[in-house]
Amino acid sequence: MNTAILERSAGPAAETAACRAGEKKLLEISGLTVAFNKNGRRGVVLDDISLNIPRGRIVGLVGESGCGKTVLGSTIIGLLPERGAEIVSGEVNFHGGGGGEKENLLTLNYHGMKKYRGSKISMIFQEPMSSLNPVYTVGSQIDETIRNKNRDLTRAGIAARTVEILSKAGMPDPARVYSMYPHQLSGGMRQRVVIAIALANNPDLIIADEPTTALDITVSEQILFLLYNIREKFDSSIILITHDLSVVANVCDDIYVMYRGTIAECGRARDVFAAPRNPYTIGLMESLPEAGAHKKPLHVIRGSVPSIFTAIEGCKFRERCDKAAAICATPPPLKSAGETHYYRCHF
């Protein structure tokens, strides 16, 4: 493990290189800045984000509530709100199969994006009930997703594929669940339906936004195990959005720590967990409860994530950081702590 900070300076695209060596490219985001305009005010929600999702890897995106995780996922899949959201700059390049040709998803219109959404990229949304239609059966909702991309399949063929996908999503008794309505299922079963919809057309990239937050610990572990296996079986890449670092430690290959719309630290998960550099990452890790450590008080990061409409010069974390000094009023440089580990901090 690399414990010494390598004092070489990192170029602006270094985050995207952080996990790259020897891996096939799938999604590369560079210099992405997104703002919301509301009541005459403009708030930058994603500030010069660069990241790299290689093929077949699980990449954890972590940070407290309001850091911009969902907005980043929605930008990738082209589902930013039509009113108020503004893509200021940057590229979201998706690399196609075989020849490795790439396309900047931000340049596509609704129809251009339709060929990606659901077939090459799918998103599991934060709240399963909001992505299921309560008046249609589970089966008909998955059927529709399959039919949209497979016009040549017969009704029976689509239904058979739906049952098979439900089974792959770990659904007990999938043939029976096919005819059930979402409200007849438990939270864990609903989440499996949402995962089945995401898997229906074998996407290259799945964005899973807090897929386990509303579930109890055992069901949550089963869902994470399922996502882990999906990567193995389908060679899909997964962006796993969570505020729970222990989830990342258990299943992710790479990690991006977000704070107020910026990447505070990124790299191979094992490297970042072994020697975190950014005070925000360190704070998040110290606030993880340790099994058996009953008497040890939990570390708390003081304050909360400021609104995107509050202007902050320099390091966005400085008002909550114990290390903050005058220099933090200037933007922190991106530094390298090893071949696959980068962080932003003046210290």
Q: Footprint of ligand ATP on this chain (CB under 6 A)?
A: 36, 38, 45, 63, 65-71, 81, 84, 126, 243, 307-308
Nearer to ligand ATP, 126 or 202 (CB): 126
Selection from ligand ATP, Mg ion, none that 278 binds (CB < 5 to 8 A by kind) is none
Helix (H) or strand (E) holding 19, with range, is none
Nearer to ligand ATP, 150 or 213 (CB): 213
241 and 207 Cβ atoms separated by less than 8 Å? yes
Nearer to ligand ATP, 25 or 243 (CB): 243
Selection from Mg ion, ligand ATP, none that 81 binds (CB < 5 to 8 A by kind) is ligand ATP
State the nearest-atom distance from the C-beta of 307 to ligand ATP, in Å. Answer: 6
342 and 334 Cβ atoms separated by less than 8 Å? yes
DSSP state of 95: E
Q: Tell me how far apart the alpha carbons of residues 100 and 104 are, in angstroms, rounded to a whole number.
A: 13
67 and 263 Cβ atoms separated by less than 8 Å? no
State the nearest-atom distance from the C-beta of 7 to ligand ATP, in Å. Answer: 32
State the nearest-atom distance from the C-beta of 92 to ligand ATP, in Å. Answer: 16
State the nearest-atom distance from the C-beta of 269 to ligand ATP, in Å. Answer: 19
DSSP state of 9: B
2 exposure class (CB count in 10 Å sphere: 0-12, 13-18, 19+): middle
Selection from ligand ATP, Mg ion, none that 84 binds (CB < 5 to 8 A by kind) is ligand ATP
Nearer to Mg ion, 3 or 65 (CB): 65
Selection from Mg ion, ligand ATP, none that 243 binds (CB < 5 to 8 A by kind) is ligand ATP
Q: Which of 16, 50, 52, 70 binds Mg ion (CB under 5 A)?
A: 70
The yes or no reply on residue 340 touching Mg ion (CB under 5 A) is no
Selection from ligand ATP, Mg ion, none that 66 binds (CB < 5 to 8 A by kind) is ligand ATP
State the nearest-atom distance from the C-beta of 309 to ligand ATP, in Å. Answer: 8
Task: Report, in angstroms and rounded to the nearest whole number, the Rg of the chain calculated over CA atoms.
Answer: 21
State the nearest-atom distance from the C-beta of 70 to Mg ion, in Å. Answer: 3
Nearer to ligand ATP, 36 or 256 (CB): 36
The token duo for 158 is 């689509």
Selection from ligand ATP, Mg ion, none that 65 binds (CB < 5 to 8 A by kind) is ligand ATP
Q: Tell me how far apart the alpha carbons of residues 18 and 133 are, in angstroms, rounded to a whole number.
A: 40
State the nearest-atom distance from the C-beta of 178 to ligand ATP, in Å. Answer: 31
Q: Residue 347 is which amino acid?
A: F
Among the candidate windows 33-41, 64-72, 160-168, 252-260, which touches Mg ion by CB under 5 A? 64-72
Edge to edge, what strands does the sheet with 262-268 contain? 121-124, 205-209, 237-242, 58-62, 254-259, 262-268, 341-344, 334-336
Give the number of other CB atoms < 10 A from CB of residue 132: 19
Nearer to ligand ATP, 10 or 72 (CB): 72
Nearer to Mg ion, 69 or 190 (CB): 69
Q: Is 189 left (phi over 0), alpha (psi -120 to 50) or beta?
A: alpha
168 and 176 Cβ atoms separated by less than 8 Å? no
Nearer to ligand ATP, 335 or 344 (CB): 344
Q: Tell me how far apart the alpha carbons of residues 138 and 125 are, in angstroms, rounded to a whole number.
A: 16
Nearest CA among 250, 238, 233 for reference residue 198? 238
Nearer to Mg ion, 195 or 208 (CB): 208
Give the distance, in angstroms, between the CA of residue 271 and the centroid of all CA atoms in the same chain: 19
List contacts with Mg ion (CB under 5 A): 69-70
